[in-house]
Structure 1
Amino acid sequence: MKSLSPTGELQHSEPSVPVPDYAELKKRVKRAGLLARQPRYYMWSMILTIGATLASFLILFLVHNIWWQLINAVFLAVVFAQVGYLGHDAGHRQPFSTTWKNELAGLICGNLLLGMSNAWWVDKHNQHHSHPNQLDMDPDLNIPGICFNLQEARQKQGLGRWVMLHQIWLFFPMLMLVALDLKRASILFLSSEWKSARYPLLESLLVLAHWVLFLTLLVYNLGFGAAILFFLVNQAVLGFILGSAFAPNHKGMPVLAKESQLGFLQRQVLTSRNIKAGPLTDFWYGGLNYQIEHHLFPSMPRNNLRAAQQIVKQFCQEHAIPYAETSVAGSYCAIVKALSEVSSEVRYERAEA
């Protein structure tokens, strides 16, 4: 198996052990019935989530205290995060066996409820799944202002360089911009590459409907100033939740060279990190805390991932494949350490020059 250096760079050496058979692992998982669709689970999840969204909108009409409305903004951000996770699962065809039902769920969750293009997200996310943490291949490595790769950090100039040198302090505040950045990128996609979407007109109309209805609802019930405050709090909390769910999965894990020839199973496991399971983490991460299992079986319904974890763990132990699992705090310590190492190395090189 190819080895990875302490800095996370791939060592190009011939495999020293046989490559494990992914088909064997999949056979074990399939035998356990964990790849079967779970429409009832997802229907109830969607009903409860949409119900919570409507409850938050009802509070906008009934409550006229700004402080309670700011609490409502936080509540709605938590609900919107769950909407996003359902849209993510629909993009992977987890809920239903029928394609159009998954696409409809994605359009409702992504475009209408979040104001983000479902087609853009699915395309970007599929690229990530095909080449996780692989240079020039994984779009999720291109984080504005944040650098986990030393080669990229050395090329930063001006404001970007200053942000990179102070990224361990800026990382958590910048998570609050994640939701707005996702929506910005998806709107740019619809305005410039909308014909590459399967339903370009429908996607555009649903995103437009989200922004018109959501902002009108806020201004009508809260007034202009309070509406802006509500929106900023809501989007900042939503960004932090989504960012805190995305970042631990791969950040601080090995970064593979573009020409890496690692097999599918090794590539998915070695570049992914799990967060220890529990009711709170399962809810907060929307099942993404089982990142290794999710990457190995993207179409596996979320509620089957915990059972699959035991099978995958045992398989990795049998084949001596490192399986990364840590606590929430441990994942952030690893992320901060990786960011610090990159910034410190660039500072050292500049001092030596």
Structure 2
Amino acid sequence: MSTSGAVPTSPAGPRSGASTPSRPAQRSTSSYTALAQRVREAGLLHRRRGYYLRRIVVVASALAALATSVQVVGDFWWVLLLAPVLALTLTQVAFLGHDAAHQQIFSSPRANAIASRCLASLIAGLSHGWWLGKHNIHHAAPNQVGRDTDIDSKLLAFHPDALEGKGRLHRWFLTHQGFWLFPLLLVEGFNLHVDSATAVLRRRRDEPRSATRAVKRRYVDLLMLTTRWAVYAGVLLAAMSPAKAGLFIVAELACFGVLLGGAFVPNHTGMPILARGKKMDFLHRQVITSRNVAGGLLVDFFMGGLNRQVEHHLFPSMPRPNLKLVQPMVRRHCEDLGVPYTEASFPGAYAAVVTYLNTVGMAGRRNISCPLAAQLRS
């Protein structure tokens, strides 16, 4: 996920090897303003309440049907087959919470905030305040070292600077980290819930002030999370033994991590990394660090609209169904400016992610820089 200064090469897919244009920032800024004006005039920022109402009704009905099905199946091993279905439904809930947090559903910021908190904390089980704080930073500085926490990981190295201070065993692991990514997604659901609960339950003295703001109204989130887990456990224990209930939760969290994590991983990983303190205009920053994932309705469904990451980063408050409508306009605009616009197939995007992660990891093992790593360090 990343750039340092202007990174001319990355295994990100079709045009990711193009160098960052040297046009004046003022021209890019005014050009984005002109693009935004055309988008507004086309009505693509207007709310799509009917679309979101239908999706909310569908996920609410699915959750009710799943709760009923669990009681009907009861204390039989077949009940575990419902866990992946629940994970899929909760992933769609998380996508809706994401859209509400970006002010995509309602005209009122307060209504969006309430909807997002209910969808994220009360239903999906992830603290709205914790997620919103880190996600806002990501949108402001995608793939920038020292700012975007999405490229900070204790286990993986998303850029060469992250290799520093790692032990020999850890460096060996990192040489194959691209392949380890897939089994690691199985525990991503656990990690997300643990990080969310930790942020809500306590604040360490060494946390930056931004982390405090990120968990605003933590007690509301804490109440919602507690209620959510109490209802979840109650529904399961009313139908099955504690052992089966525990296995059900483990299976659901594993599938949830694969589905939700899998939707986020291809969007920025393997794209240029921005060095600490690097200044860049909004249009270039958002476009060159993002990758779109091409595909049909299935890709749209499983990635929750995040497969049009370029458009989402340029217009974060644009309703999800409008992203495909604005895509041709954005692509033409980038071509006119000479700004690299990256789009890959679903397999191609993941191949680029694996190649990039392994390249970064191998650079640490050799203790020398391959061309990609050298550019990332520049």
Aligned ranges 1:99-178 → 2 under 5 Å: 99-157=109-167, 160-178=170-188
CA distance in 2, matches of 1:332, 1:341: 14
Correspondent of 2:189 among 179, 182, 194: 179
Does 2:209 match 1:201?
Answer: no
Question: C-alpha displacement at 1:100, in angstroms?
Answer: 2.2
Question: Looking at both structures, which has the greater relative contact order when contacts are Cα pairs under 8 Å and sequence separation is at least 6?
Answer: 2
Cα contact 2:75–2:239 (8 A) shared by 1: no
Question: C-alpha displacement at 1:63, in angstroms?
Answer: 0.8
Question: C-alpha displacement at 1:160, in angstroms?
Answer: 3.9
Cα contact 2:103–2:317 (8 A) shared by 1: yes
Question: C-alpha displacement at 1:114, in angstroms?
Answer: 1.6
Cα contact 1:117–1:190 (8 A) shared by 2: yes
Deviations for 1:4-46, whole angstroms, at most 9, x for unmatched residues?
23269xxxx9963244221011011111110111222112211
Does 2:237 match 1:219?
Answer: yes
CA distance in 1, matches of 2:174, 2:142: 22
The TM-score normalised by the length of structure 2 is: 0.86
CA distance in 2, matches of 1:82, 1:117: 16
Cα contact 2:83–2:252 (8 A) shared by 1: yes
Cα contact 1:39–1:95 (8 A) shared by 2: yes
Correspondent of 1:68 among 73, 78, 87: 78
Question: C-alpha displacement at 1:144, in angstroms?
Answer: 3.5
Structure 1 runs (4+) deviating above 4 angstroms are: 193-198
Structure 2 equivalent of residue 233 of structure 1: 251
* Cα distance change, pair 159–224 in 1 and its aligned pair in 2 (3 A): farther
Cα contact 1:29–1:308 (8 A) shared by 2: yes
Structure 2 equivalent of residue 41 of structure 1: 51
Does 2:67 match 1:57?
Answer: yes
Cα contact 1:176–1:243 (8 A) shared by 2: no
Structure 1 equivalent of residue 97 of structure 2: 87
CA distance in 2, matches of 1:237, 1:270: 31
Indicate the RMSD between aligned Cα atoms, in angstroms: 2.0
Gaps of 5+ in 1: none
Deviations for 1:123-171, whole angstroms, at most 9, x for unmatched residues?
1100000000000100100134111211212332265434323312311
Output the amino acid matched with 1:190: V
CA distance in 2, matches of 1:256, 1:227: 45
Question: C-alpha displacement at 1:67, in angstroms?
Answer: 4.4
Structure 1 equivalent of residue 372 of structure 2: none
CA distance in 1, matches of 2:340, 2:333: 11
Structure 2 equivalent of residue 343 of structure 1: 361
The TM-score normalised by the length of structure 1 is: 0.92
Cα contact 1:28–1:311 (8 A) shared by 2: no
Q: Bigger CA drift: 62-71 or 249-258?
A: 62-71
Structure 1 equivalent of residue 307 of structure 2: 289
Structure 1 equivalent of residue 375 of structure 2: none
Structure 2 equivalent of residue 303 of structure 1: 321
Question: C-alpha displacement at 1:69, in angstroms?
Answer: 1.6
Identity between Structure 1 and Structure 2 (%): 37
Q: Bigger CA drift: 26-35 or 148-157?
A: 148-157
Paired residues in the alignment total 345
Structure 1 equivalent of residue 22 of structure 2: 16
* Cα distance change, pair 248–198 in 1 and its aligned pair in 2 (3 A): same
